[in-house]
Amino acid sequence: MAEPDLKAWRETSAGLLLFLKVTPNAAKDEIGPVVADVDGQGQLVVRVQAVPEKGKANKAVTKLIAKTVGCRPSAVDVVRGETSRHKQLVIAGMTCVEFENVYLAAGRWD
């Protein structure tokens, strides 16, 4: 279930830092709600059809995030968790306000 007060992003000097929980081999590519991990940290649920081999899932995640927020895929970089389901991405040049406007407009809190 989505937790509206829980955030899975924060602004840094490099851009917007996103905390993700990624599921590869999904039925379709989609961005879901924000959920809490075991430590209470918010994570944005992301599902991709790509398999977790040779960076295919990471590439699918960066393309999906870029398409959703309207930026170039090269502006999205996996900075932590390349081989984990729990990833951190940076979107260069994006602010929290810009991301929240896109996220809310897409109806992602449901």
> To 10 degrees, the CA torsion angle through 47, 49, 52, 58?
-60
Q: Which domains does the chain have, with CATH numbers?
A: 9-105 (3.30.1200.10)
**Total count of residues recorded for the chain:** 110
At 92 the pLDDT is 96
Tell me the per-residue pLDDT of 48-88, one tens digit each, with 9 for 90 and over. 999 999 999 999 999 999 999 999 999 999 999 999 999 99
pTM comes to 0.88
Residue 76 · residue 89 · CB < 8 Å: yes
